[in-house]
Amino acid sequence: MLVPFGARVVRGIVLSLSNSTAVQDTRDIIEPISPPVIISPERIDLALWIADYYLSPVFDAIALMLPPGSGTGKPQKAKYIKYVALNTAAGQADGRGKTGTAGGAKQAEVLKLLEATGGRLPVGQVLSRVKCGGSVIKALLLKKLIILEDEEVFRDPLARRDFALEFPLQFTAGQKDAWQPVETAIKGGPDYRGPGAFLINGVTGSGKTEIYLAALAETIRQGKRGICLVPEIALTQQITDRFFARFPGRVAVIHSKLSAGEQYDEWRRISRGEFDIVIGPRSAIFAPQPELGLIIVDEEHEWAYKQSDKMPRYHARDVAIRLAALTGAVLVLGTATPDVVTYYRALQGQYRLIELNERVSAQGNLPLPEVSVVNMGDEFKAGNRSIFSRLLKKQVVLSLGRDEQVMLYINRRGLATFIECGNCGWVFSCRKCSGTLTYHAASKRLVCHHCRRTYAAAAKCPACASVDIKYLGIGTQTVEAECRRLFAKAGILRFDSDAAATAKAYSKLIDMFRKREADIMIGTQMLAKGLDFPGVSLVGVINADTGLNLPDFRSAERTFQLLCQVAGRAGRAHVPGRAVIQTFNPGYYAIKYAARHDYPGFYKQEIKYRAAFGYPPYNSIVRLTVSNRSQESCNRQARSMANTLKQQIAIQGLPGLRLIGPAPAHLSRLRGKYQMQIIVVGQQLQGLLKGINYPAGWIVDVDPVGML
């Protein structure tokens, strides 16, 4: 509602009612916001938890629960159209319009039309069907023979497509075992004892989605509703299509690609209970789904669930866990490569662990792809300087020869990712950021991947004027050029944000590859995200080492997840799959276990390292970052914050806490601003951090997904 606040008018939210006031003089509410927005008590609790846990203002947390567009700025007003209706209170309308004039005849016609059509029509239709003007309606209104009504109209983002209805599949033995405890939890009953929370750790293609669908169907049978979170809507059209086909007309999709109006309308319809299932990326967890009985988080390990760029910096999976606890909804987390923290919690009994170790298909069980690890150091010694090892090249030729498709993964975009002077060693870097520049073939320019600033490709070294400029490092365009040279007849498609700037463009590339309009798809991290192309028999990882040396305690976990997920794209239908991982570190544990599809093996080693250093799950982490155009102020602010924290730790007697830094962030300068960070490690850090005053320029990130 709108309330006076000092000399201003601001929007307020009623969280609770009280019989007494804390202030002497109260002022009146100016007006309620229309149409009214009602937030359930559980969601108010959820917002208060978010504000407390993620150290954000309560209003920002509550705003997550409001219809899209109402958090900041002007609220999205609902769209109405006007209806005319017979005024039944006026009794028999028949004949009263007859006044003998020409206008009277039209008035009678309007009344007749309304009677014939159920008493109610949009004004526009009445005017066009009777061929009269607004004065006729006005006259009838004056006589109180009709009334005007507003009806809210909804912009329907799904009106565009039809889906063929599909039926549930017969579960395999493995799926049956996995399904049984989930079914029991959803059916509930007086004797049921939790936890009603599950972690399904199922290899890629093991039929997890099929279990989600069954869980939703059972939830609906129990008269309840569900929310399903997916990491990124653009890349998960395949999963949403399956939901539409199974539950036609009962699925709402919400995501930021919808127009503000569409989002608003979806929100209103969901709150009225019009959909059994809401599906969407992280913000879908805040959908006002009534009678919530099930929350699914697909690919629970994905970073995309964390809102890192603005407050509140929440993690949708962790919010989902909280919401399930508050509402009593059953929780299903699914992934082939669990977050180490999630797996740890499952082993501790917080979630029930369900494993699916076999791939399924309509043709029965499928083997997982056979993964080979190639030591690129050996290739080098053998005189092979190409970015393709002999094995990968041979396998590409074999796959293409059998008319199968190939996916190649490389972590960077561009043609050369490092440009250096061969004479003096000068490295071309961004003037506004501390990162190096990448050469892009199409624009023939040097691009900063951090701020998107571009520079002309220099012919001479700015430091020593030498013309010996070296273009080093491999990007998607390098791989593309090499493929065109080595596999001249193959159709090649590049799948990165240069080739596809929008979600729509991504969908188009996915469609093209699915229709086999190309043989080889070259892409970045996007390739790792749940794509399902039956024609792909081979996946190649050009360089598995790129993430290994980053100063982030999760770098092994990320590498493992990425390799498993990318390799998992191969051999998903009748053709057996193969993956070739190229690396200079073939003995590294994340690579070794990924090649064997051995999550528990990886976990066992990783958890030892986490324990030794006190990293999550053994402690929480909060990252404090400050940025400033002046390096000196930046340093000063960081030092002063560190001192404050140290003092508070001493005063409050918090021995288990550790500070790392202050130190320059991995990217020490971004868009012209220097960045320093302090990492706080320990338990229940909120107690300490809540009491601190954060001057402008500070960002506080609880449970950050990246340390860079």
Q: C-alpha angle 70/71/74, rounded to 5°? A: 45
Question: For the CA atoms of 92, 95, 97, 98, what is the dihedral angle to 10 degrees?
Answer: -160
* Nearest to 568, CA basis, from 364, 392, 407: 407
**Are 86 and 140 within 8 A, CB to CB?**
no
Residue 205 touches which of ligand ADP, Zn ion, none (CB < 5 to 8 A by kind)?
ligand ADP
Q: Give the phi and the psi of residue 397 in degrees, each rounded to 5.
A: -60, -45
Which residue of 172, 335, 478, 582 would you call a contact of ligand ADP, by CB under 6 A? Answer: 172
Binders of Zn ion: how many residues, by CB under 5 A?
A: 15
Q: Which stretch binds Zn ion (CB under 5 A): 367-375, 460-468, 508-516, 697-705?
A: 460-468
Q: Which of 171, 426, 471, 698 binds ligand ADP (CB under 6 A)?
A: 171
Rounded to the nearest 10°, the torsion over CA 283, 285, 286, 290 is 150
Give the C-alpha separation, 623 to 678, whole Å. Answer: 6
User: What are 577's strand-pairing partners?
Assistant: none
Which of 421, 493, 499, 634 is the binder for Zn ion (CB under 5 A)? Answer: 421
Cβ neighbour number for residue 132 with a 10 Å cutoff: 17
Check binding of 464 to Zn ion (CB under 5 A).
yes
Residue indicated by tokens 């039309």: 113
Asked if 236 is part of the footprint of ligand ADP (rule: CB under 6 A), the reply reads no
Q: Are 679 and 707 in contact (CB under 8 A)?
A: yes
Q: Count residues binding ligand ADP (CB under 6 A).
A: 16
Structure tokens at 386: 């190409």
Paired tokens of 379: 């290739």
Give dist(CA 109, CA 139) in Å, integer: 13
Closest CA to 353 of 374, 372, 375, 338: 338
Among 56, 76, 107, 206, binds ligand ADP (CB under 6 A): 206
Nearer to Zn ion, 667 or 692 (CB): 667
**Which CB sits closer to ligand ADP, 237 or 417?**
237
Which part of the chain contacts ligand ADP (CB under 6 A), choosing from 167-175, 302-310, 542-550, 680-688?
Answer: 167-175
User: Considering the complex, what minimum distance in angstroms separates the CB of residue 172 from ligand ADP?
Assistant: 5
Whether the CB-CB separation of 648 and 693 falls below 8 Å is answered with no
Q: Among ligand ADP, Zn ion, none, what does residue 451 contact (CB within 5–8 Å per kind)?
A: Zn ion
Instruction: Pull the structure tokens for residue 370.
Output: 């056979």
CB of 413 to Zn ion, least distance (A): 14
| Nearest distance, CB of residue 297 and ligand ADP, angstroms | 13
Q: Least Å distance between CB 671 and Zn ion?
A: 7
| Contact pick of 87, 283, 308, 361 for ligand ADP (by CB under 6 A) | 361
- 318 in helix, strand or coil? helix
- The verdict on whether omega for the bond into residue 367 sits within 30 degrees of 0, i.e. cis, is no
CB-count burial class (<10 Å; 0-12, 13-18, 19+) for 246: buried
684 vs 561: CA distance, rounded Å: 28
CB of 367 to ligand ADP, least distance (A): 14
Q: Does 204 bind ligand ADP (CB under 6 A)?
A: yes
Q: What's the closest the beta carbon of residue 506 comes to ligand ADP, in angstroms?
A: 19
Residue 677 binds to ligand ADP (criterion: CB under 6 A)? no
Describe the crossing of helices 102-116 and 134-142 by its angle, rounded to 10 degrees.
Answer: 80
Run of H or E including 86:
strand 80-86
Among ligand ADP, Zn ion, none, partner that 521 touches (CB below 5 to 8 angstroms by kind):
none
Smallest distance from Zn ion to CB 164, Å: 47
Instruction: Establish if 202 lies at the interface with ligand ADP (CB under 6 A).
Output: yes
208's contact among Zn ion, ligand ADP, none, with CB below 5 to 8 A by partner kind, is: ligand ADP
Distance of closest approach, residue 209 Cβ to ligand ADP, in angstroms: 3
140 token code pair: 């009838």
User: Which H helix or E strand runs over 626?
Assistant: strand 620-628
Q: Which stretch binds ligand ADP (CB under 6 A): 13-21, 163-171, 458-466, 664-672?
A: 163-171
Of the pair 207, 281, the CB lying nearest ligand ADP is at: 207
263 is a contact residue toward ligand ADP (CB under 6 A): no
Dihedral (C-alpha) 6, 12, 14, 19: value to the nearest 10 degrees?
Answer: 10
Q: How far apart are CA 520 and CA 493, in angstroms?
A: 6
- In terms of CB distance, is 343 or 439 closer to Zn ion? 439
Nearer to Zn ion, 168 or 672 (CB): 672
Q: Considering only 5-13, 52-60, 356-364, 413-421, which stretch makes contact with ligand ADP by CB under 6 A? A: 356-364
CA distance 124 to 135: 13
Q: Is 207 in the site for ligand ADP (CB under 6 A)?
A: yes
**Which stretch, 43-51, 131-139, 354-362, 510-518, contacts ligand ADP (CB under 6 A)?**
354-362
Q: What is the closest distance, in whole angstroms, from the C-beta atom of residue 464 to Zn ion in the complex?
A: 3
Closest distance of CB 620 from ligand ADP, Å: 30
Binding at 240: pick from Zn ion, ligand ADP, none (beta carbon under 5-8 Å per type)? none
H or E stretch at 296 = strand 292-298
Q: How many helices (H) and strands (E) does the chain have?
A: 20, 27
Is residue 657 within 8 Å of 692, Cβ to Cβ? no
Among residues 19, 20, 92, 170, the one that binds ligand ADP under rule CB under 6 A: 170
DSSP readout, 123-191? Answer: HHHHHHHHT--HHHHHHHHHTTSEEEEEEE----TTTT-------PPPPPHHHHHHHHHHHHHHH--TT
Q: Closer CB to ligand ADP, residue 51 or residue 213? A: 213
Please choose which of ligand ADP, Zn ion, none residue 340 contacts, taking the beta carbon within 5 to 8 angstroms, the exact cut-off set by kind.
Answer: none
Q: State the binding partner of 361 from ligand ADP, Zn ion, none, CB within 5 to 8 A by kind.
A: ligand ADP
For position 463 contacting Zn ion by CB under 5 A, the verdict is yes
Amino acid occupying residue 535: G
Does the protein bind Zn ion through residue 423 (CB under 5 A)?
yes
CB 204 within 8 A of CB 564: yes
Q: Min. distance of Cβ 357 from ligand ADP in angstroms?
A: 11
> Which one of the spans 215-223, 358-366, 425-433, 469-477 is the region binding ligand ADP (CB under 6 A)?
358-366
Per CB under 5 A, which of residues 425..454 are in contact with Zn ion?
Answer: 426, 430, 432-433, 448, 450-451, 453
Q: What is each CA distance from 688 to 532, 645, 658, 680, 702, in whole angstroms?
A: 46, 8, 12, 10, 12
> Which residues here bind Zn ion, judged by CB under 5 A?
421, 423-424, 426, 430, 432-433, 448, 450-451, 453, 461, 463-464, 466
> Which residues here bind ligand ADP, judged by CB under 6 A?
169-172, 175, 202, 204-210, 360-362
